[in-house]
Structure 1
């Protein structure tokens, strides 16, 4: 949900139409989640149509697809790679997340009166710190609850910050996959004790969310996107052989199969079989669009604009919806809903302008710090490499 679109794994830019399509998916995912929260807050309708689940599933499929390409791209850079990869991911997620969390905590003290807890304490200093460290509803807490042990100090989402649970899962998936890709597969050495600590926090999230958690299978859905990203990398190396025929056949098969699956069990985006078919449809369409070089400028511009602040929108929208619900009361509900949705987009765009769009600067600042922290003891090569990476990134800009 937090990844930017633009280049394939080897740095080769995507076609305008393919890039526009991925941006459209990002924007659609955020607005599907908004729609589900509007229905719940303003009309008392649960996620009957699975709009929120669909939006989250799309986000995780896109995230896996793009992060796999990012990891492959990092292989073209000198070591240390894990530190740079994690610094970029942390910067991408936390640059708007931290100010959003601060704003949400402030609004919950000053403007929001209702409680949106899913059980347990969901405000206060401990909850704020837990959300800051991405420990809200951590897999260990959920596992203990499953075993009949529910700790009183368990960290929850900060009241109106309901969407934050997926951001925490995504963060620890990044850490898990980075450790596996660079340290296990590519044998990169890091500080042993820090590595153990990261595994102890990240691995339970990856494992638990493969079979349980709020999304039941979000780790597996993310991995589906990652597999698709790797297959596209191999396909491009082969010149996208038979791309139209393959994409058409796979897309038609998966669309018909998904219709049958939905007819049998209902449309369940978090169902792994349904998610596989969704992924096949999504990425078949992408394959068909790769050969389309141009897109109408108006369409490209509008989609790119909506996608640019989609992550900020995901973070802040629920809080804005609740504030409007509590303080604005038009005679017609749809008038209040319109004000709420427009306000959510406006606040999200301001958050993007003020913080999110600067994540690359934050990433460059974090890289040498992550390199020093993750370097094996006695490693004297880290500092020069950090300087080279920063210098190279400045030349690219």
Structure 2
């Protein structure tokens, strides 16, 4: 048994979970981006990594856990805490997202300029709130395909402010949210909840919040064979999500994944309270820069595959080699973007906030909060 800590030590094992989740998404897209006509015209490697989207489910549970675990001491602390919290979330999400968005638009603009056309972006005004501000009610984001998940993250962060203002009110809100999501899934509600609030991925976030509260407020037990049991549960949840009777992306599969990931997180936290994990440096580096990797990997994979097609190698090389080249470019490029751009910019912006608000201390977080 392990007791809840008084502070928020860095949990290296969760950096590993974040790195693996990001790599799963990259594996899937490295094969799926081959299906466009100018490349292979079909999903690469026979769809071997089609399950990679579960990495996003892991991210949602991790998100709820991390912000609850790291900011637990600030719950119910009032407006000053939520202002600081939102600033940290803003600098974590938007600067690097806007950079990747600009880099994704750049090839199209350059192509238009080279052909003598006006450098316009093919995006309607109705898509701007969802694309630029990641507002979930402003339409699906365009250009950066994975940004749809960031819309949920923004929604989660805004909801968490209620917990920062008042714990009782926040927990009541979350309990009602979970109940309404279940009611929607089973057809009790006459119409779906607005702003995708009834999406099962919201329940994954709420499960992460619950896991964070448990980790901070209750002793965690570890049993013999618990690691194997949790690993088996996670595999079973992935299989159920993929081939269960409800089909993929359904309520039951998402909840199963959320429960399994929450159990994994609590197990890792319990272990680390006895002995901190030591990660291999490449895995730790990918964990620290997983957000940049997640944002930029589709752009980098497309660049790699397009370059191979341009020089005439795409049709000559085996598909496995093409896949490995795309993966290497995505992983190295995503790491470099995070290491040399994202992390320094986030650190600089947070220092600016601290300089303007002397006396404020930042909790030492689980992974990067």
- The normalised TM-score by structure 1 is 0.66
Note the 1:101-116 alignment, pairs <5 A: 101-110=101-110
How far apart are the structure 2 equivalents of 1:156 and 1:268? Answer: 20
Gapped regions of structure 2 (runs ≥ 5): 36-41, 113-120, 171-191, 363-369
Match of 1:274 among 253, 256, 281: 256
Aligned pair 1:169/2:165, yes or no? no
For 1:195, the equivalent position in structure 2 comes to none
Match of 1:350 among 325, 336, 339: 336
Q: Is the 8 A contact 1:63 1:222 kept in 2?
A: yes
Q: Which residue of 1 aligns with 2:284?
A: 304
Residues 125 and 344 of structure 1, relative CA distance in 2, 3 Å threshold: farther
> Match for residue 45 of structure 1?
43
Measure, in 1, the Cα distance between the counterparts of 2:270 and 2:358.
Answer: 41
Kindly state the Cα deviation for residue 354 of structure 1 after the two structures are TM-superposed: 3.3
Once the two structures are TM-superposed, the CA of residue 206 in structure 1 deviates from its matched residue by 8.8
C-alpha separation between the residues in 2 aligned to 1:280 and 1:127? 34
**Structure 1 residue 126, shift from structure 2 partner:** 7.1
Task: Specify the alignment match of 2:115 in structure 1.
Answer: none
Query: 1:293 Cα shift?
Result: 1.7
Corresponding residue for 1:361? 348
Describe the superposition over 1:2-55 as per-residue Cα deviations: whole angstroms up to 9, x where unpaired: xxxxxx8743425xxxx3321111111111111111221115239785534201
Aligned-partner Cα distance in 1 for 2:238–2:142: 37
- List per-residue Cα deviations over 1:366-385 (Å, max 9, x = no partner): 579xxxxxxxxxxxxxx8xx
State the alpha-carbon separation in 1 of the partners of residues 238 and 325 from structure 2: 36
| Cα gap change, 1:320 to 1:264, in 2 (>3 Å) | closer
TM-aligned CA distance change 1:168 to 1:111, over 3 Å = farther
Q: 1:269 to 1:289 in 2, by over 3 A?
A: farther
Alpha carbons 1:251, 1:284 under 8 Å: kept? no
| Equivalent in the alignment of 2:209 | 226
Q: CA separation of 1:111/1:65 partners in 2, compared to 1, >3 Å: closer, same or farther?
A: farther
**Counterpart in the other structure of 2:230:** 251
Contact map agreement 1:250 1:280 (CA 8 A) in 2: no
Change (3 A) 1:51 1:9: farther
Match of 1:13 among 9, 16, 29: 9
Residue 318 of structure 1 and its aligned partner are, at CA, apart by: 0.5
Cα distance in 2 for partners of 1:38, 1:276 equals: 25
Whole-Å Cα distance in 1 between the matches of residues 333 and 254 of structure 2? 34
Match of 1:157 in 2: 141
The question of whether the paired residues in 2 share the 8 Å contact of 1:23 and 1:307 is answered with yes
SS in 1 for 2:104: helix
Cα 1:87–1:210 shift into 2, 3 Å: same
SS in structure 2 of the partner of residue 388 of structure 1:
coil
Describe the shift of the 1:220–1:35 C-alpha distance in structure 2 as closer, same or farther (beyond 3 A).
same
Structure 2 Cα separation of the partners of residues 129 and 261 of structure 1: 35
Matched, 1:337 2:323: yes
Deviations 1:43-84 (A, max 9, x none): 523978553420100111111110111331324978611101
Q: What CA distance in whole angstroms lies between the structure 2 residues aligned with 1:234 and 1:315?
A: 34
Alpha-carbon distance in structure 2 between the residues aligned to 1:355 and 1:260? 37
Residue 234 to residue 76, structure 1, CA distance change in 2 (3 Å): same
Gaps of 5+ in 1: 1-7, 113-120, 142-154, 189-204, 369-382
Q: Structure 2 CA distance, aligned partners of 1:67 and 1:79?
A: 17
Q: Give me the whole-angstrom Cα distance separating, in 2, the residues matched to 1:304 and 1:362.
A: 23
Cα distance in 1 between the residues matched to 2:273 and 2:132: 42
Change (3 A) 1:26 1:269: farther
Match of 1:69 in 2: 69
How far apart, in 1, do the equivalents of 2:13 and 2:141 lie? 32
Matched pairs, number: 313
**For the Cα contact (< 8 Å) 1:312–1:351, is it kept in 2?**
yes
Shift in Å, 1:260: 8.3
Q: Secondary structure at the match of 1:328?
A: helix
- The Cα of 1:222 is off from its aligned counterpart by 0.8
Instruction: Measure, in 2, the Cα distance between the counterparts of 1:280 and 1:265.
Output: 23
Contact persistence 1:111–1:323 (CA under 8 A) = no
Q: Separation in 2 of the partners of 1:85 and 1:131?
A: 22
CA distance in 1, matches of 2:209, 2:62: 8
RMSD between aligned residues: 3.8
